Every structure is written in C-alpha cells, then in structure tokens.
Amino acid sequence: MSSQDWGRVDDAGNVYVRVADEERLIASWQAGPPEEGLSFYQRRFDGLNAEVTLLEKRLKAGGVDPETALGTIARLKEQVAAGAAVGDLATLDRRLDAAVALVDQRKEAVKEERKADKAKALANREAIVVEAEKLGTSTTWKASGDRFRDLLEEWKNAPRVDRSAEQAMWKRFSAARTTFDRARRSHFAALDVEREKAKVIKGRLADEAEALTTSTDLAETSRRYRDLMAQWKAAGRAGKGDDEMLWQRFKTAQDAFFARKNEKDAEQGVEHAANLAAKQELATKAEALLPITDIGSAKAALREISKAWEAIGHVPRDDKAKIEQRLKKVEDAVRNAEQELWKRQDPAARARAQDAVDQLLGVIAKLEKQRDAASAKGDQRGVDQANESIAARQEWLLQAQSALDEFSQ
C-alpha cells in the first residue's frame, strides 16, 4: 500500500488514519490544503519509523543499554497508540513488540558479558596477587621493588570484583609486599653493617698505605702493597662516597711509592748494566784459565776474580743466572782438578792400589805353577782351567796397574 492508502484529510480538515479495517480520526488540519496536512502527518510517521529502525539496528549491534531501550520502546509505543501520524501503525507497533524481544535477548547477553567481565576482573586481580607472592621471596631488590609499585598501580586501576573476594586477595597481596619489604630492610641493614666494617678495614689499609709511601725497603714494601691490595679487594665495598674517598687515599699513596720505586729501578738499571759488563769481563778472564794446567796459579787467579766479582754488586735479574753460571763453570773445573790431584797424591790410596797389584801378581804366579804341574802330568783339562784363571787375573791386573800408574803422574 502507498502512503496515501494509510490515511486521508477531508475537505473539513479532519485527518484520518487506517488501522486494520477501520479509519481513526486523529487530528484536525486547518493550516492549509488537505494534501499538505496529509503530507505533514506522513512525515510524522516517517519520523517514528526512522526511530524504530535506528533502535532495531542498535539492539542488533548491542550498542544500547537494555533499560534505556525499554524506555525508548515505551515512548514510541505511546506515540504509535496515540495515532498522530499517517502510515502503517500496526506494523510499526509489531516491530516495537519484536524490539522488546530483542531487548530481552540483549539483557541475557549483557548478563553473560557482565559475568565474563567479572571472571576476567577476578582473574586479572588473581594474576596480580600471584605475581606479588612470587616477588615476595625475591632478592632482586631494585627490580622487584619497582615491580611491586607497578603491581600496586595495576591493582588500583583494575576493574572491581566482589568485596569479599577483593579483600581476600588484597590481604594476600599486602602480605607478599610486607614479606618483601621486611626482607629488603633486613638485607640493607646487614649491608650497612658490612659496609661500615669494610669502611673500618679500608681506612686502616689506607693508613698503612700512606705510611709506606716513604719506605726505603723497596722490594719488601712492593710485596706489602700487593698484600694490602689483596686485603682491599677482600674487604668488600664501603658506602659509595666512603669507598671512593678511601680508594683515592690508598691509590694516591700506592702511586707515590711506585713512582719513586720506578725512579730507583731506572737508576739501578743503569748501575746493574754497568755491573753486568764488569762481571762479563771477569767471567771471560776466568774462562781463560781453562783447561787447568797449574792448579795453584789457577786457584790464586780465581780468588782474585771472585773477590772482584763480589765487590761489583747486582746485575739485571734476567742476566744473573747466565753470568753466574759462567763463573761457576770455572770454579767447578778448578775444584775438580784439585780433587783429582789430591786423589793422585793420597799415600793410603797408593798403598791400596800397590797392594792390589801385588796380590794379583802373586795369584797369577801361583796359577802358572799349577798350569806347569798339570802340563807335566799330561792333564790338559787342568792346563786349560789354569789358563782361563790366569787370563782373567791378567785382565784385572791391567786395571789395577792402571789405577796405580795414576799416582805416578
């Protein structure tokens, strides 16, 4: 049906609307021609229809509060019932009834959404509490402390849940934070004690380092500074400001000593190089005594060399073993030559060597007589045995005679 079929305006200005199979007088139009009056009330219907259409769309999209939607439906139904419009009012009224069903559906959807939101909010707060409880036993003080502050802000901004559940979870959160705070305070209190202890130790080390600055025992003081440095590292850290101040004192004293030591080492380096050259010259002079031909003169010369050697002083550390080995080689040669001479001149040793020769000569003479007797008897076996024994004794005799001859050299 066209819009004109839903109503009319007669010549007297009466406005009618068709509802079902009857016409209903809804108004009187005196402001112009009947056509304008009909058009006016048709536009009213179009306005109502537009409102119903918009409401339907919003309900289907879920973009309207159910209670607000019910109020809008009630208002529109009143306007439709009043009939102050020309159009299909019956269909419009049915659409509004259908909209009520949509509102009921929306109510159920909102109920489920709120239930889901509540569960999500509960899970969100539970996650905050669980993380807080894990952090409660943490010893990463800075990071965990920062995270606790973040969690507290998340807790404050999180959607609300049932009061009893929220209070129970807050107690858990608060207990975890209290546990962490107590442990952190205890840790830093102990740390303060350790830092104060380190401050005392490092103060004593700095005092000793400063006292050693002018020490003249360079080697022993160098070792002592190494000991002090080891103690410094083992002492732990004092408070930041104290640690830096004490370290500056310690390092200044240490640097002053080693700067002076380096100057001394440089001076000694020149002196030691000159000493090395002098000892090299003496070593060459000592080596000229080899091989030893005259022990007496060699010993006398070596005594003078050794006396001069001892008077020279230290040489560079890297060259010490090598240069001393050169002199020791000559000293060993003289000592060995002297021992060999003593052996050759020892009367008791010569007598023992002579006795060995005499005994062997006697044994050989006896064996020769035994051999001759066996030969006279035709005892070839006895001859052979005697010859074997003689040969063995003659070999021993050569060795004994050689030892005896050494005493004649």
**Same domain as 254, residue 155:** no
**Same domain as 99, residue 39:** yes
Give the residue from 142, 174, 191 where a domain finishes: 191
**Same domain as 227, residue 302:** no
pLDDT score for 164: 93
Give the residue from 312, 327, 343 where a domain finishes: 343
Sequence letter at residue 394: Q
CA dihedral 89, 95, 97, 98 (to 10 degrees): 170
DSSP-derived 3-state class of residue 136 = coil
**Same domain as 83, residue 48:** yes
**Same domain as 206, residue 246:** yes
Alpha helix segments (H runs only) across 212-316: 218-234, 240-287, 295-312
Domain count, the chain: 5
For residue 215, give both structure tokens: 């020490």
Angle 128-133-139 (CA atoms, 0-180°, nearest 5)?
120
CA dihedral 71, 74, 75, 81 (to 10 degrees): 180
C-alpha distances out from residue 180 to 137, 172, 185, 257, Å = 6, 12, 9, 48
CA distance 111 to 134: 34
For residue 149, give both structure tokens: 């502050």
CA distance 67 to 64: 9
Sequence letter at residue 229: M
Q: Is the pTM of this model over 0.85?
A: no
Per-residue pLDDT of the chain (409 residues; tens, 9 = 90+): 444 578 788 887 888 888 777 888 877 888 888 888 888 888 888 888 999 999 888 888 877 788 888 898 899 888 888 778 888 888 888 899 898 888 888 788 778 888 898 999 999 999 999 999 999 999 999 999 999 999 999 999 999 989 999 999 999 999 999 999 999 999 989 988 999 999 999 899 999 999 999 998 988 999 999 999 999 999 989 888 899 999 999 999 999 989 998 988 888 888 889 998 998 998 999 889 888 888 888 889 889 999 999 999 889 889 999 989 998 999 898 999 888 877 766 677 777 877 888 898 898 899 889 999 989 998 899 888 989 988 988 899 888 888 777 765 5
CA distance 329 to 305: 14
- For 205, other C-beta atoms within 10 Å of its C-beta total 21
CA distance 86 to 17: 5
CA distance 276 to 312: 9
DSSP-derived 3-state class of residue 236 = coil
Number of H helices, E strands in the chain: 11, 3
**Same domain as 103, residue 30:** yes
**Same domain as 209, residue 167:** no
What is the C-alpha radius of gyration for the chain, rounded to an integer number of angstroms?
A: 63
Spatial CA neighbour of 182 closest among 153, 149, 146, 141: 141
- For residues 41 and 13, the answer to whether their CB atoms sit within 8 Å is no
**Same domain as 286, residue 227:** no
Domain holding 218, by residue range, is 196-260
**Same domain as 219, residue 141:** no
**Same domain as 12, residue 104:** yes
pLDDT score for 4: 57
- For residues 39 and 28, the answer to whether their CB atoms sit within 8 Å is no
Partners of 38 in the β-ladder: none
**Same domain as 273, residue 178:** no
Give the residue from 343, 367, 390 where a domain finishes: 343
**Same domain as 353, residue 318:** no
- For residues 91 and 20, the answer to whether their CB atoms sit within 8 Å is no
Angle 131-134-139 (CA atoms, 0-180°, nearest 5)?
125
pLDDT score for 1: 47
